[in-house]
Structures are given as C-alpha cells and as structure tokens.
Amino acid sequence: MIPTYELYGEDEPASARFWVHCETIPARSSQYHWEIGLHRHDHFFQILLVTGGSGDALFGNDIVRFEPCAVLTVPPGIHHGFRFSPDIDGYVLTFLTSRLPVRPGEPSPLGAFLSSTRVTQLDDKHGDSALIRASILRLCDEWQERRSGRAIMMEACLATALTLTARLAGQDAADAESTDENDRRMETLTALMHREVRNHRAASFYATALGISPTHLNRVVKDKAGVSTQELLMRRLLEEAQRELLFTPGSIQEVAFRLGFADPAYFSRLFTRKTGSTPRAWRLREQQRLGSRDNDEAVTGLS
C-alpha cells in the first residue's frame, strides 16, 4: 500500500499548522539516503526547484530524469517518489491546494498544467526562466525571514512562478510537438539505464531495446541530453558508484563488485579519471561534507 503523508515521513496532519512549507531538498532526502519512496499528499501541491545535482522522478509507473535547473510540480493525490544524486541541491515547497492561484483541473491553461505531474526545464534561451527561479527563491526567502506582508508576497511569487512555468511548458510542448517520439525514447532509455546500470550494457543493447540503430540513438541522446549515449551511460554508472560509496559501509573492492566490475583496480582508475578523486578520497570528503551540512542544518532549524 502506498502511504499518504502531509510531509514525507510525517503522519501528523499538517493542514492546520501551515499553508506553505519550504525546505532544502537535501534537508529531508538525506535522512532517507537520497531516496524518497512512492507516496502521495491528499491536500497539498508540491514544487521542487532543482538547482544542482540530478535524479529520477517516479510519477506513478513513469520514471522521468531531471537535471538542473528544473521545476518539478506534483498535484495532490498523485503517487510520486524521487531518487536524488548525493550532490542534489534546491528547494521543495509544499502548499495547501486551496491557496493556489488556480485549482488543478480548472478549465484554463494553468488549471490544466497544475492537474498532472510535470518536469519543466529552465533554459536560458527562454527569457522567463530567470524570473521563475527568482520568484521561487524569493518565496523561500519570504517564508524563512517572516517579514511583514509575507503572505501577500508569497502568494504573488507563487502565482508568478506557476503561471510562467505553465507558459514555458506549453511553449516547449508546442516547439517539441514533432519530437514526442524522441521524448518517449528518452523516458524508456532512462528507465532501462536505471535497471541495467550494474550490468554494463553497451549502447547497442539500448538501441536494440528501443528498436533503432546505435547511430540514431546517439543523435536522440545528443539532442535531448547534450552528450553522447556513451557519456550518458557513464554518468549514470558514476552516480550509482557515488551512491554506493556514500551510503554503504563496504570496502572499495566490495563496492566495485556490487557495481559489476570484475577488477576493482580498473574501477578505481575509471572513477579517478572521471571524477578527479580516488574512490576512497571521494568517499571521505563527501562523508565529511554531509556531516558538516547536517550540523549546520541542525543549528539553523532545517529538518
């Protein structure tokens, strides 16, 4: 059974305590090893502003990849979860649905946009992207600082951010009308990489699974992700390696074996070449950084 929460991991009803809640994405996800299991919110609408790192969003049975800078919107009643990279950064904002400028499902472009899960990429080529990001960050600042008139300011920032994000998503949908098939291919590829990352599949394996040639797949990936298929596969493998190093107590050799490497020395050389640090040095540095951030958040009251 998929649980229902007000805030993830909290069973106490929150609707009587607040109409908006804001926290950093690492503040809560780090408590769960950067993985937020499938759950839903009955009365709350969520916005995630991803400014660093990357991850996968689980929307029902769909897996959607996201990279910075992006806005993720999740309406109430939708089963969702997240798998974040350890370097994820950004904010998650939770609103009572009744305080949105337009209710999800209302007969308007904004109502239609708010009625389903979305990942909207903020691209510098769109003039509104900077204003969307600035509006969300200002909303977080108003929530944190508790200045006079902050409710009015937060509602204004919320309306601005959602309206412009809906416009941007609509513009992208119109521009990409002829590339829907490639979007579906990327979604399928993301799901396959998630499943096969430890099997070290070649690009040809994924091309065959998608029913296209490796050359065609490479063109699709370059168009959608800006890198080659091989580079995308390597990034996914390194992300999995970093997760293993940070959250499992085994030796570097054990991590290498779990990741499907027959030769731990080769794994260490590959990791060092791609990241600039040995696996051992990277693990120590990130564990120290995570411990320092946890202490800082405890002092500032973030949880």
CATH code for the domain of 187: 1.10.10.60
**What pLDDT, on a 0 to 100 scale, did the predictor assign at position 83?**
95
* Domain shared by 192 and 165, yes or no: no
Same domain, 155 and 47: yes
Domain boundary among 123, 157, 175: 175
Confidence at residue 299, expressed as pLDDT on a 0 to 100 scale = 38
Q: Between 178 and 21, name the one with better pLDDT.
A: 21
Q: For residue 303, what pLDDT band results from cuts at 50, 70 and 90?
A: very low
- For residue 15, pLDDT beyond 50: no
Domain co-membership, 29 together with 140: yes
Do both 210 and 111 map to the same domain?
A: no
Amino acid at 105: G
- List pLDDT tens digits, range 41-80: 988 999 999 999 999 999 988 999 999 999 999 999 999 9
* Average pLDDT for the chain: 87
141 lies in the same domain as 33: yes
- Domain containing 137 equals 20-175
Q: What is the CATH number of the domain that holds 168?
A: 2.60.120.280
Q: Is 11 part of a structural domain of the chain?
A: no
Mean pLDDT of 280-284: 94
Using pLDDT thresholds of 50, 70 and 90, give the confidence band for residue 292. low
pLDDT given for residue 109 in this prediction: 83
Residue 192 domain flag: yes
- Please indicate, yes or no, whether residues 162 and 231 belong to a single structural domain of this protein: no
Mean pLDDT of 230-243: 92
Phi-psi region of 61 (alpha: psi -120 to 50; beta: other; left: phi over 0): alpha
Instruction: At 205, give phi and psi (nearest 5°).
Output: -60, -45
* Cα–Cα distance measured from residue 300 to residue 285, given in angstroms and rounded to the nearest whole number: 23
**Co-location of 125 and 235 in the same domain:** no
**Structural domains counted in the chain:** 2
**Are residue 112 and residue 136 in the same domain, yes or no?**
yes
pLDDT tens figures, 158-194: 999 999 999 998 876 555 454 568 888 888 998 899 8
What is the pLDDT confidence band of residue 289, given thresholds at 50, 70 and 90? confident
Q: pLDDT, tens digit, for every residue of 196-221?
A: 999 999 999 999 999 999 999 999 99
Q: E strands along 99-226, which residues?
A: 118-121
Do 127 and 79 fall into the same domain? yes
- The reported pTM is 0.59
- Average pLDDT in the 86-115 region? 90
Determine, yes or no, domain membership for 204.
Answer: yes
| Tokens (6 digits) for 241 | 């390696």
Beta bridge partners of 55: 66, 84
